[in-house]
Amino acid sequence: MLQQLFRNKKGQGLVEYGLLIAGVALISAAAVSLFGHKTCDLIAAVGVVLPCAHGDDNGPQVAGKLIETTSGGSGAIGLDASTI
């Protein structure tokens, strides 16, 4: 019975894909958290320069925080996993 358990690998592929998707999602969330504000600022700066745009469209844009980050004295960036 124990040998059959180790030989039966029907769900192995599904678990591996699940772990892969979870890893990509975690890395994507961290990247959006780190670079989201810079991207929003860039889009806001370009939006002000657009010709023929309405005044309401060129208003300031505010970026929301997805994950709280902290930067230490050593230059390392820390993610608060409890807010995820």
Interval 10-55: pLDDT, tens? 778 888 999 999 999 989 888 877 877 777 777 777 766 666 666 6
| Residue of 47, 37, 33 lying closest to 83 (CA atoms) | 33
Asked whether residue 37 is assigned to any structural domain, the reply reads: yes
Asked whether residue 3 is assigned to any structural domain, the reply reads: no
Domain that holds residue 16: 11-83
Asked whether residue 5 is assigned to any structural domain, the reply reads: no
Asked whether residue 1 is assigned to any structural domain, the reply reads: no
pLDDT band at residue 67 using 50, 70 and 90 as cut-offs: low
| Phi/psi-derived region of residue 65, left when phi > 0, alpha when psi is between -120 and 50, beta in every other case | beta
CA 24 to chain CA centroid, nearest Å: 9
Q: Give the number of domains in the chain.
A: 1
Asked whether residue 6 is assigned to any structural domain, the reply reads: no
